[in-house]
Amino acid sequence: MTATAASAAPLTDQQLERYARHIVLKEIGGAGQIRLLGAHVAVVGAGGLGCPAIAFLAAAGVGTIRVIDPDIVSLSNLQRQILFGTADIGRPKAEAVQSAVALLNPDVHVVAINQRLEAANAAVLLRDVDVILDGCDNFETRLAVSDAATLLRTPLVSAAVGAFDGQIGVWRGWEAGQPCYRCLVGADPERPDVNCADQGIVGAVTGTIGSMAALEVVRALVPFGEAAIGQMLIADFMANRFRTVRVSADPACPACAAESVPA
Ligand SMILES: [Zn+2]
Protein backbone atom coordinates (compact mmCIF):
# COMPACT_ATOMS: atom_id res chain seq x y z
CA MET A 1 0.00 0.00 0.00
CA THR A 2 1.38 3.40 -0.92
CA ALA A 3 1.64 6.27 1.54
CA THR A 4 -1.12 8.12 -0.30
CA ALA A 5 -3.51 5.19 -0.14
CA ALA A 6 -2.73 4.63 3.54
CA SER A 7 -3.48 8.25 4.44
CA ALA A 8 -6.71 8.00 2.45
CA ALA A 9 -7.86 4.78 4.07
CA PRO A 10 -11.48 5.89 4.63
CA LEU A 11 -11.90 6.49 0.90
CA THR A 12 -13.42 3.67 -1.14
CA ASP A 13 -11.68 2.30 -4.24
CA GLN A 14 -14.22 4.19 -6.36
CA GLN A 15 -13.43 7.43 -4.54
CA LEU A 16 -9.68 6.88 -4.85
CA GLU A 17 -10.19 6.70 -8.60
CA ARG A 18 -12.78 9.47 -8.89
CA TYR A 19 -10.63 11.95 -6.95
CA ALA A 20 -7.23 10.64 -8.12
CA ARG A 21 -6.24 14.04 -9.57
CA HIS A 22 -6.86 15.68 -6.18
CA ILE A 23 -5.21 12.92 -4.20
CA VAL A 24 -2.02 13.09 -6.24
CA LEU A 25 -1.65 16.81 -5.44
CA LYS A 26 0.47 17.33 -2.35
CA GLU A 27 -1.68 20.40 -1.55
CA ILE A 28 -4.85 18.27 -1.30
CA GLY A 29 -4.01 14.57 -0.99
CA GLY A 30 -6.20 11.98 0.67
CA ALA A 31 -6.61 14.06 3.82
CA GLY A 32 -7.80 17.07 1.82
CA GLN A 33 -10.23 14.91 -0.13
CA ILE A 34 -11.68 13.52 3.08
CA ARG A 35 -12.11 17.10 4.28
CA LEU A 36 -13.95 18.02 1.05
CA LEU A 37 -16.26 15.01 1.39
CA GLY A 38 -17.10 16.07 4.93
CA ALA A 39 -17.63 19.72 4.04
CA HIS A 40 -20.89 21.65 3.92
CA VAL A 41 -21.09 24.64 1.57
CA ALA A 42 -24.01 27.01 1.00
CA VAL A 43 -24.44 28.49 -2.49
CA VAL A 44 -26.72 31.49 -2.82
CA GLY A 45 -28.05 31.73 -6.36
CA ALA A 46 -28.11 28.84 -8.85
CA GLY A 47 -27.69 31.09 -11.88
CA GLY A 48 -24.86 31.93 -14.21
CA LEU A 49 -22.31 31.99 -11.38
CA GLY A 50 -23.89 29.34 -9.17
CA CYS A 51 -24.20 26.67 -11.88
CA PRO A 52 -20.52 26.39 -12.83
CA ALA A 53 -19.50 26.83 -9.19
CA ILE A 54 -21.84 24.03 -8.06
CA ALA A 55 -20.72 21.82 -10.95
CA PHE A 56 -17.07 22.08 -9.89
CA LEU A 57 -17.85 21.75 -6.17
CA ALA A 58 -19.95 18.65 -6.84
CA ALA A 59 -17.32 17.15 -9.13
CA ALA A 60 -14.72 17.86 -6.43
CA GLY A 61 -16.73 15.83 -3.94
CA VAL A 62 -17.83 18.61 -1.60
CA GLY A 63 -20.11 16.39 0.47
CA THR A 64 -23.09 18.65 1.14
CA ILE A 65 -24.12 21.62 -0.98
CA ARG A 66 -27.02 23.76 0.22
CA VAL A 67 -28.49 25.53 -2.81
CA ILE A 68 -30.66 28.57 -2.08
CA ASP A 69 -32.59 30.01 -5.02
CA PRO A 70 -36.27 30.99 -5.32
CA ASP A 71 -36.42 31.01 -9.14
CA ILE A 72 -37.50 28.56 -11.79
CA VAL A 73 -35.48 27.63 -14.87
CA SER A 74 -36.38 29.66 -17.96
CA LEU A 75 -35.33 29.23 -21.58
CA SER A 76 -33.11 32.33 -21.54
CA ASN A 77 -31.15 30.89 -18.57
CA LEU A 78 -29.80 28.03 -20.66
CA GLN A 79 -27.34 30.25 -22.54
CA ARG A 80 -25.12 30.23 -19.41
CA GLN A 81 -26.67 28.18 -16.59
CA ILE A 82 -24.96 24.96 -17.57
CA LEU A 83 -26.42 22.60 -14.99
CA PHE A 84 -29.84 22.88 -16.65
CA GLY A 85 -31.25 21.37 -19.83
CA THR A 86 -34.25 22.20 -21.98
CA ALA A 87 -36.38 19.67 -20.08
CA ASP A 88 -35.76 21.61 -16.84
CA ILE A 89 -37.62 24.73 -18.03
CA GLY A 90 -40.29 25.52 -15.46
CA ARG A 91 -38.64 23.52 -12.65
CA PRO A 92 -37.39 25.22 -9.48
CA LYS A 93 -33.66 25.82 -9.98
CA ALA A 94 -32.66 24.36 -6.62
CA GLU A 95 -34.44 21.09 -7.48
CA ALA A 96 -33.02 20.99 -11.00
CA VAL A 97 -29.55 21.39 -9.46
CA GLN A 98 -30.29 18.43 -7.20
CA SER A 99 -31.10 16.24 -10.23
CA ALA A 100 -28.02 17.39 -12.17
CA VAL A 101 -25.65 16.79 -9.26
CA ALA A 102 -27.16 13.34 -8.60
CA LEU A 103 -26.08 12.37 -12.14
CA LEU A 104 -22.63 13.90 -11.70
CA ASN A 105 -21.57 12.56 -8.32
CA PRO A 106 -23.47 10.23 -5.93
CA ASP A 107 -21.08 11.26 -3.11
CA VAL A 108 -22.69 14.71 -3.00
CA HIS A 109 -25.88 15.56 -1.18
CA VAL A 110 -27.70 18.68 -2.41
CA VAL A 111 -30.08 20.38 0.00
CA ALA A 112 -32.47 22.33 -2.22
CA ILE A 113 -33.95 25.46 -0.67
CA ASN A 114 -36.49 26.98 -3.02
CA GLN A 115 -36.73 30.20 -1.07
CA ARG A 116 -35.64 33.84 -1.37
CA LEU A 117 -32.83 34.75 1.00
CA GLU A 118 -33.46 38.06 2.76
CA ALA A 119 -32.00 39.92 5.72
CA ALA A 120 -34.68 38.40 7.97
CA ASN A 121 -33.90 34.74 7.15
CA ALA A 122 -30.25 34.89 6.05
CA ALA A 123 -28.68 33.80 9.34
CA VAL A 124 -31.04 30.80 9.54
CA LEU A 125 -30.60 29.73 5.91
CA LEU A 126 -26.81 30.05 6.11
CA ARG A 127 -26.09 28.53 9.51
CA ASP A 128 -23.90 25.44 10.09
CA VAL A 129 -21.88 25.56 6.89
CA ASP A 130 -18.11 25.73 6.42
CA VAL A 131 -18.09 28.25 3.56
CA ILE A 132 -20.71 30.44 1.87
CA LEU A 133 -20.55 31.17 -1.86
CA ASP A 134 -22.61 34.12 -3.03
CA GLY A 135 -23.38 34.23 -6.73
CA CYS A 136 -26.74 35.97 -6.54
CA ASP A 137 -27.88 38.68 -8.93
CA ASN A 138 -28.86 41.56 -6.68
CA PHE A 139 -27.28 43.94 -4.24
CA GLU A 140 -29.82 43.59 -1.46
CA THR A 141 -29.29 39.82 -1.21
CA ARG A 142 -25.50 40.27 -1.36
CA LEU A 143 -25.57 42.53 1.69
CA ALA A 144 -27.89 40.16 3.57
CA VAL A 145 -25.54 37.24 2.80
CA SER A 146 -22.49 39.26 3.83
CA ASP A 147 -23.98 40.43 7.13
CA ALA A 148 -25.07 36.88 8.02
CA ALA A 149 -21.64 35.47 7.10
CA THR A 150 -19.94 38.01 9.38
CA LEU A 151 -22.37 37.28 12.20
CA LEU A 152 -21.96 33.50 11.80
CA ARG A 153 -18.16 33.84 11.42
CA THR A 154 -18.29 31.85 8.20
CA PRO A 155 -15.91 32.61 5.31
CA LEU A 156 -17.73 34.19 2.36
CA VAL A 157 -16.66 33.87 -1.25
CA SER A 158 -18.50 36.58 -3.13
CA ALA A 159 -18.64 36.60 -6.92
CA ALA A 160 -20.22 39.05 -9.33
CA VAL A 161 -20.18 39.79 -13.05
CA GLY A 162 -20.83 42.69 -15.37
CA ALA A 163 -21.22 42.35 -19.13
CA PHE A 164 -17.50 41.79 -19.74
CA ASP A 165 -16.03 41.90 -16.25
CA GLY A 166 -16.14 40.02 -13.00
CA GLN A 167 -15.07 40.26 -9.36
CA ILE A 168 -14.29 37.74 -6.66
CA GLY A 169 -13.59 38.44 -3.02
CA VAL A 170 -13.06 36.29 0.06
CA TRP A 171 -14.33 37.90 3.25
CA ARG A 172 -13.65 37.10 6.90
CA GLY A 173 -14.99 40.32 8.39
CA TRP A 174 -15.19 39.04 11.97
CA GLU A 175 -11.39 38.82 12.17
CA ALA A 176 -9.55 41.87 13.52
CA GLY A 177 -8.54 44.24 10.74
CA GLN A 178 -10.36 42.26 8.06
CA PRO A 179 -13.00 43.98 5.91
CA CYS A 180 -16.36 42.45 5.10
CA TYR A 181 -18.19 42.80 1.79
CA ARG A 182 -20.24 45.67 3.25
CA CYS A 183 -17.01 47.59 3.98
CA LEU A 184 -16.36 47.48 0.23
CA VAL A 185 -19.74 48.51 -1.09
CA GLY A 186 -21.26 50.56 1.71
CA ALA A 187 -24.93 50.43 2.42
CA ASP A 188 -26.42 52.59 -0.30
CA PRO A 189 -29.91 51.13 -0.66
CA GLU A 190 -30.54 53.29 -3.73
CA ARG A 191 -27.72 51.67 -5.64
CA PRO A 192 -29.33 50.48 -8.86
CA ASP A 193 -29.27 46.77 -9.54
CA VAL A 194 -27.99 45.99 -12.97
CA ASN A 195 -28.49 42.36 -13.85
CA CYS A 196 -28.06 40.12 -16.85
CA ALA A 197 -31.64 40.64 -17.96
CA ASP A 198 -30.97 44.34 -18.53
CA GLN A 199 -27.35 44.20 -19.50
CA GLY A 200 -26.56 40.97 -21.32
CA ILE A 201 -23.70 38.62 -20.56
CA VAL A 202 -21.50 36.10 -22.34
CA GLY A 203 -21.98 32.70 -20.72
CA ALA A 204 -18.26 32.03 -20.54
CA VAL A 205 -17.80 35.19 -18.42
CA THR A 206 -20.11 33.83 -15.71
CA GLY A 207 -18.52 30.41 -16.25
CA THR A 208 -15.02 31.77 -15.65
CA ILE A 209 -15.91 33.76 -12.55
CA GLY A 210 -18.15 31.02 -11.14
CA SER A 211 -15.35 28.48 -11.60
CA MET A 212 -12.86 30.79 -9.88
CA ALA A 213 -15.31 31.17 -6.99
CA ALA A 214 -15.46 27.37 -6.70
CA LEU A 215 -11.66 27.31 -6.55
CA GLU A 216 -11.73 29.79 -3.65
CA VAL A 217 -14.26 27.59 -1.82
CA VAL A 218 -12.06 24.50 -2.29
CA ARG A 219 -9.04 26.54 -1.17
CA ALA A 220 -10.89 27.68 1.97
CA LEU A 221 -11.85 24.08 2.80
CA VAL A 222 -8.55 22.27 2.26
CA PRO A 223 -6.72 24.91 2.48
CA PHE A 224 -3.73 25.68 0.21
CA GLY A 225 -1.85 28.64 -1.26
CA GLU A 226 -2.80 32.21 -0.71
CA ALA A 227 -6.48 33.07 -0.41
CA ALA A 228 -7.53 36.53 -1.58
CA ILE A 229 -8.91 37.39 1.87
CA GLY A 230 -10.01 41.01 2.09
CA GLN A 231 -9.14 41.58 -1.56
CA MET A 232 -11.01 41.91 -4.79
CA LEU A 233 -9.80 40.05 -7.82
CA ILE A 234 -11.10 42.03 -10.77
CA ALA A 235 -11.24 40.52 -14.23
CA ASP A 236 -11.62 42.76 -17.28
CA PHE A 237 -12.49 40.50 -20.18
CA MET A 238 -12.55 43.34 -22.72
CA ALA A 239 -8.90 44.20 -22.08
CA ASN A 240 -8.13 40.60 -21.01
CA ARG A 241 -6.58 41.72 -17.73
CA PHE A 242 -6.78 40.61 -14.12
CA ARG A 243 -5.86 42.78 -11.17
CA THR A 244 -6.20 42.57 -7.39
CA VAL A 245 -7.11 45.44 -5.09
CA ARG A 246 -6.86 45.33 -1.32
CA VAL A 247 -9.95 46.48 0.60
CA SER A 248 -9.68 48.35 3.92
CA ALA A 249 -11.87 47.48 6.87
CA ASP A 250 -14.29 50.33 7.60
CA PRO A 251 -13.97 51.04 11.35
CA ALA A 252 -17.57 52.34 11.27
CA CYS A 253 -18.97 49.36 9.36
CA PRO A 254 -22.27 48.37 11.02
CA ALA A 255 -21.74 44.70 10.13
CA CYS A 256 -18.15 43.85 11.01
CA ALA A 257 -16.74 46.57 13.28
CA ALA A 258 -18.49 45.25 16.39
CA GLU A 259 -17.94 41.58 15.44
CA SER A 260 -14.18 41.89 15.07
CA VAL A 261 -12.16 39.53 17.23
CA PRO A 262 -8.40 38.97 17.17
CA ALA A 263 -7.56 36.45 14.44
ZN1 LIG B 1 -17.52 45.56 7.28
pLDDT in tens, 26-40: 999 999 999 999 999
Rounded distance, CA 87 to CA 160, Å? 27
Average pLDDT over residues 13-19: 98
Cα of 216 vs centre of ligand 1, distance in Å, is 20
In three-state secondary structure terms, 29 is helix
Which of 17-21, 66-70, 187-191, 233-237 has the weakest average pLDDT? 187-191
pLDDT of 191: 57
Cα of 84 vs centre of ligand 1, distance in Å, is 35
According to DSSP, residue 87 is labeled G
Cα of 259 vs centre of ligand 1, distance in Å, is 9
Residues belonging to the chain? 263
pLDDT tier for residue 8 given thresholds of 50, 70 and 90: very low
Can you identify the CATH homologous superfamily of domain 40-246? NAD(P)-binding Rossmann-like Domain (3.40.50.720)
Residue 9 has pLDDT above 70, yes or no: no
pLDDT in tens, 165-215: 999 999 999 999 999 999 998 766 555 555 555 789 999 999 999 999 999
Average pLDDT over residues 58-83: 98
Average pLDDT over residues 236-243: 97
Average pLDDT over residues 123-127: 98
204 CB-near residues (< 8 Å, 6+ apart):
none
pLDDT in tens, 89-108: 999 999 999 999 999 999 99
pLDDT of 37: 98
pLDDT tier for residue 259 given thresholds of 50, 70 and 90: confident
pLDDT of 4: 44
pLDDT in tens, 144-153: 999 999 999 9
Average pLDDT over residues 120-138: 97
Residue 2 has pLDDT above 50, yes or no: no
pLDDT tier for residue 1 given thresholds of 50, 70 and 90: very low
Cα of 131 vs centre of ligand 1, distance in Å, is 18
CA-to-CA dists, residue 31 to 59, 132, 179, angstroms: 17, 22, 31
Cα of 252 vs centre of ligand 1, distance in Å, is 8
Cα of 128 vs centre of ligand 1, distance in Å, is 21
Average pLDDT, the chain: 92
pLDDT of 3: 42
Cα of 179 vs centre of ligand 1, distance in Å, is 5
- Residue boundaries of the structural domains of the chain: 1-37, 40-246
Question: Between 187 and 73, where is the model more confident?
Answer: 73
Cα of 152 vs centre of ligand 1, distance in Å, is 14
At 149, which helix (H) or strand (E)? helix 139-152
pLDDT in tens, 240-253: 999 999 999 999 99
Cα of 177 vs centre of ligand 1, distance in Å, is 10
pLDDT of 194: 54
Cα of 256 vs centre of ligand 1, distance in Å, is 4
1 CB-near residues (< 8 Å, 6+ apart):
none
Rounded distance, CA 136 to CA 134, Å? 6
Cα of 202 vs centre of ligand 1, distance in Å, is 31
Residues with CB under 5 A from ligand 1 (ion): 173, 180, 182-183, 253, 255-256
pLDDT of 228: 84
Cα of 221 vs centre of ligand 1, distance in Å, is 23
